Amino acid sequence: FCNLCFRANHIVRICRLMGSCTVERCGRRHHTFLHAKQKEQSNGVNDVYVNTRPCRGIEREHEQGATPNVVALTVVPVLLKHNEGTVQTCAFLDSGPNASLISHNLVDKLEFEGEPKT
């Protein structure tokens, strides 16, 4: 998955699209949409700043450890809203999952209650 053109058949390092993020003082090689930094609007609603750095380690593992017959899932930065604010994390996108999974660490941060299922 390319963070610049959003195509699934390559990664940003080998993307033929020229350009980089246009957000002020960024200039990194990812699509501006992923940055999503905007000023507070006049109606008092704050937009969201999404930092894509937490997902970069996962992306690099797929780049370096690519092996035949292994399916690489798309990794995207996400913001999860809960009672006390938001938590930024990374999500794997799968077009046909039978279940949704979440780490124990994230469950603790979001203060979810309940028992894990196996």
Burial class of 79 by CB neighbour count within 10 A (0 to 12, 13 to 18, 19+): middle
Q: What tens-digit pLDDT sequence spans the chain (118 residues)?
A: 788 777 778 888 888 888 787 777 887 888 776 764 344 444 444 444 445 555 555 444 444 444 444 445 577 778 888 877 788 877 877 766 677 778 888 888 888 888 877 6
For residue 1, which of 71, 50, 49 has the smallest C-alpha distance?
A: 71
